Amino acid sequence: MAKLKLGVLISGRGSNLQALMEACAEATYPAEIVLVISNKADAVGIERAAAAGLPTLVIDHRKYPNRAEFDAEMTAALDAAGVGLVCLAGFMRLLSEEFVSHWHDRMINIHPSLLPAFKGLNVQARAIEAGARFSGCTVHYVRHEMDVGPIIVQAVVPIHADDDADSLAARILAQEHVIYPAAVKWIAEGWVRIEDERTSIDGSTPPMGILSNPSP
């Protein structure tokens, strides 16, 4: 079966891109990365992708008069590469309505909180500040509103009493690297259905049991 063609959008470190690259390196994985786009020339992730021989493109948003034209350039490149699924992976630009509409149900994002809690930025610090006992990460389809859209998968991590934002972010990031390739795999294999803005995943393993932190 033909592999699902991925376009990955990044702005920085690219550790989630790396996780997707490693998954795609497996012969049986049902997706392949056909284009990596960064809006920043110095993004570490773009170096990682180029070093691995992947097609990369820097589209510097500062060279475009407005968001719509920047986004149109990205869509043109993604379409030209035959992309079937756009994966946002630490892409730090807001997206225009046109872009989000064009990629409706064909664009996913990874976010380091258990959505719908803690949308936006600095979410690890905010979860600690709020006294939450758990946080985690979410892979979801992208809609016009930021960090909103049908949820595909979430992973939960405990928040420890001595956590700071960095230690929590690292614990969450390790799970991001697990669930992002998993979500892409399920989509590529046709397991994920969206109905009334909720997803169902056929063929998936049963959900985990009850989590408690601290343990009773």
Q: Considering the complex, what minimum distance in angstroms separates the CB of residue 216 from ligand GRF?
A: 30
Nearer to ligand GRF, 12 or 158 (CB): 12
What is the contact mask toward ligand GRF in residues 102 to 121, using x (rule: CB under 6 A)? --------xxx---------
As annotated, the active-site residues are: 111
Q: Considering the complex, what minimum distance in angstroms separates the CB of residue 155 from ligand GRF?
A: 11
C-alpha 204: how far from chain center? 19
CA distance 93 to 161: 33
- Other beta carbons within 10 angstroms of residue 196's beta carbon come to 5
- Spatial contact of 183 and 153, defined as CB atoms under 8 Å apart: yes
Residues in binding contact with ligand GRF, number by CB under 6 A? 15
Binding residue (CB under 6 A) for ligand GRF from 4, 8, 14, 135:
14
Q: Considering the complex, what minimum distance in angstroms separates the CB of residue 189 from ligand GRF?
A: 23
Q: Is 176 in the site for ligand GRF (CB under 6 A)?
A: yes
Query: Which single residue is written with the structure tokens 């979500």?
Result: 183
CA distance 24 to 100: 25
- Spatial contact of 112 and 137, defined as CB atoms under 8 Å apart: yes
CA distance 85 to 8: 9
Q: Considering the complex, what minimum distance in angstroms separates the CB of residue 206 from ligand GRF?
A: 25
Q: Is 56 in the site for ligand GRF (CB under 6 A)?
A: no
Q: Is 15 in the site for ligand GRF (CB under 6 A)?
A: yes
CA distance 152 to 202: 12
- Other beta carbons within 10 angstroms of residue 150's beta carbon come to 19
Q: Considering the complex, what minimum distance in angstroms separates the CB of residue 67 from ligand GRF?
A: 19
CA distance 33 to 185: 12
- Part of the chain binding ligand GRF (CB under 6 A), chosen from 7-15, 64-72, 147-155, 198-206: 7-15
Per CB under 6 A, which of residues 178..197 are in contact with ligand GRF?
none
Residues of this chain that interact with ligand GRF (CB under 6 A) are: 10, 12-16, 45, 89-90, 110-112, 137, 173, 176
